[in-house]
Amino acid sequence: MKKRRGFFLVVEGADASGKTTLVKRLGDSYDRLGWTVTSVREPGGTVVSEKVRRVLLDPGVSMNARAELFLYLAARAQVVDEVIVPALKRGELVIADRFSLSTYAYQIGGRRLPARAVMSADRLARAGVSPDLTLLLTVTSRQSAERRQEINRKRDRIEQEPPGFFQAVRAEYSRWGRNKPGIIVIDSGLGADGVYNRARQLLDRSLRMRTV
C-alpha cells in the first residue's frame, strides 16, 4: 500500500473570525473520515510555545514590536520542529489555527515592522515548511466586536489594541488574500455552517489533488 501524503492546512483571519470553531469542526470531520488529524494553535502546541503564548497574551505585560515578533517566531520554530514536521512525515492532516500569514498581518500590518525583515525572519522560523492550503476567514470590524461581546471574557494583550490596529491587520490580510496562490478567502458572514461547508469543499478538492 502507498503511504498517504501529509497535508498542511492553515486557517487564518483576524480575531473573532471563527478560526478556532472551524479548526475544531474540520478536525472532527476528517478524523471520522479516517485521517489522523493533528490540530495546533499559534502561538502554542508545545510546552515551550504554550509558555511563550502566556507571555504574549498577558494583558499585564508590555513589550516592543520587535520583541513581540521574535517571541511569536520562537513559538513557531518550536511547534514546526516538534509537532508539524513529524506529523506531516507520518502522513497526517495537520490543521493550524494561524501560521505565517498572521505574522504578516499583525506584525507588518498592525505593528508596521518592515515587511522584508519580518518575512525573512519567518522563513528562518518555519524552516521551509509552508501550508498546502490556507483558508482566510474575513470579518468586519462590526462582526468582530459583536462576537467578542458574545464571548464576554477578559480581553488579552492583543485584543486590547485600539480599533486602528485591527483595521491595519484586516487590510494586510485583505492584501494577501487577493490573488495569492494557495490562499482562499471565505466570508465569515456566511455563518458557522456556511463557512464549514465551503471549507470542506475546498479541502476535499485539495486532498483529492494531493492523493498519491
Q: Is 124 contained in some domain?
A: yes
Note whether residue 101 is domain-resident: yes
Residue 2 falls within a domain, yes or no?
no
Number of domains in the chain: 1
How far from 24 is each of 84, 113, 152, 208, CA to CA, in Å?
A: 17, 32, 21, 21
- What the block records as the C-alpha cell of 156 is 488579552
Q: Indicate whether 198 belongs to any domain.
A: yes
| Domain span at 157 | 7-210
How far apart, in whole angstroms, are the C-alpha atoms of residue 98 and residue 81? 16
Residue 3 has pLDDT above 80, yes or no: no
- Determine, yes or no, domain membership for 112: yes
Query: Strand 133-138 vs strand 37-41: parallel, antiparallel, or unpaired?
Result: unpaired
Q: What are the pLDDT digits (tens) for 95-153?
A: 999 999 999 999 999 999 999 999 999 999 999 999 999 999 998 777 766 666 666 67
pTM for this prediction = 0.92
Distance CA 34, CA 39 (A): 15
Residue 51 is assigned to a structural domain of this protein: yes
Tens-digit pLDDT profile for residues 41-64: 999 999 999 999 999 999 999 999
Mean pLDDT of 16-29: 94
CATH assignment at residue 88: 3.40.50.300
1 part of a folded domain: no
Is 81 among the domain residues?
yes
DSSP letter at 3?
P
